[in-house]
């Protein structure tokens, strides 16, 4: 009991180097995400995950019955079910659709792209064919809702006469592709090759948005 009290206190006061039982699975998932993204599923050793999380090999298997289940948990954990929230923002957004696109991609960068969660995208791309059910899950939970959100935005632009009457289904990819590219650069080549050109993510996102909007918007006819 007194130990439980201690544990609770430990939670109140941020972890002072103490091991908090409740935090273990999360720490393992964080460690696993990093390593899976870095080396791939097969090339990551379970023991390394445990070591990075500061626990022993055995403890890992106490929380996850197998390396494969760990992988699935990593994906599940890092798939933000934030589309409900984002759809709400969409509904109540009052500015122009161009502003909406700008806002949307910047928010995406802040909340996903710049965080460890972005690693999931690289992980899925690398491992999709070894874990088709995980790929299907990701497709359903992330890709479809994401595309649907983009679709609604593009439709809004076209409906309101802000955007040209482009082929919406293919234009969705014009929004998504630069983001995928940024993540791949962050987690693959960019992570191991000293870049010979500057690559500031914020500026990159803005540049892509501007090109995209130039391509989408109807020319403003000024008297």
Cβ 15 to DNA shortest distance, Å: 6
Of 56, 47, 50, whose CA–CA distance to 30 is shortest?
Answer: 50
Residue 183 half-sphere exposure toward CB, CA atoms < 13 A = 23
Distance CA 165, CA 169 (A): 12
Tokens of 206: 């803005």
- CB–CB of 60/50 below 8 Å? yes
Q: Does 126 bind DNA (CB under 7 A)?
A: no
Tokens of 205: 């996102």
Cβ 211 to DNA shortest distance, Å: 43
Query: Which helix (H) or strand (E) segment is 219 a member of?
Result: none
Contact flags string 12-31 toward DNA, x per CB under 7 A: ---xxxxxxx--x-------
Cβ 29 to a second copy shortest distance, Å: 20
Residue closer to DNA, measured from CB, 70 or 175: 70
Residue closer to DNA, measured from CB, 57 or 160: 57
| Partner interacting with residue 212 (select from DNA, a second copy, none; CB below 5-8 Å by kind) | a second copy
- CB–CB of 83/149 below 8 Å? yes
CA 30 and chain centroid, separation: 14
Which residues of this chain interact with a second copy, rule CB under 8 A? 38-43, 122, 124-130, 132, 135-136, 138-139, 143-144, 147, 164, 166-167, 169-171, 173-174, 176-178, 180-181, 184, 188-189, 191-193, 196-198, 203-204, 207-208, 210-216, 219
- Say if residue 179 is exposed, middle or buried (CB neighbours under 10 Å; 0-12, 13-18, 19+): buried
Q: What is the residue whose two structure tokens read 């928010």?
A: 107
| Partner interacting with residue 128 (select from a second copy, DNA, none; CB below 5-8 Å by kind) | a second copy
Contact flags string 30-69 toward DNA, x per CB under 7 A: --------------xxxx-------xxxxx-xx--xxxx-
Cβ 40 to DNA shortest distance, Å: 11
Residues in Cβ contact with 193 at an 8 Å cutoff, skipping those fewer than 6 apart = none
Residues that bind DNA (CB under 7 A): 15-21, 24, 44-47, 55-59, 61-62, 65-68
């Amino acid at each position: 009991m007194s130990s439980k009290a201690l544990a609770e206190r430990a939670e109140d006061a941020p972890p002072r180097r103490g091991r908090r039982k409740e935090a273990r699975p999360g720490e393992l998932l964080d460690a696993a995400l990093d390593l899976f993204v870095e080396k791939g599923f097969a090339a990551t050793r379970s023991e390394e995950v445990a070591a990075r999380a500061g626990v022993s090999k055995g403890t890992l298997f106490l929380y996850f019955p197998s390396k494969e289940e760990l992988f699935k948990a990593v994906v599940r954990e890092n798939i933000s079910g934030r589309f409900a929230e984002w759809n709400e923002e969409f509904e109540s957004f009052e500015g122009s659709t161009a502003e909406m696109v700008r806002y949307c991609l910047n928010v995406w960068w802040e909340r996903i792209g710049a965080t460890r969660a972005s690693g999931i995208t690289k992980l899925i791309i690398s491992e999709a064919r070894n874990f088709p059910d995980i790929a299907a899950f990701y497709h359903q939970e992330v890709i479809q809702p994401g595309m649907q959100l983009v679709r609604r935005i593009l439709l809004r632009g076209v409906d309101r006469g802000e955007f040209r009457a482009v082929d919406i289904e293919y234009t969705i990819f014009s929004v998504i592709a630069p983001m995928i590219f940024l993540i791949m650069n962050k987690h693959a080549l960019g992570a191991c090759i000293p870049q010979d050109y500057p690559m500031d993510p914020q500026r990159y996102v803005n540049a892509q948005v501007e090109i995209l909007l130039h391509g989408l918007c109807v020319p403003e006819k000024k008297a």
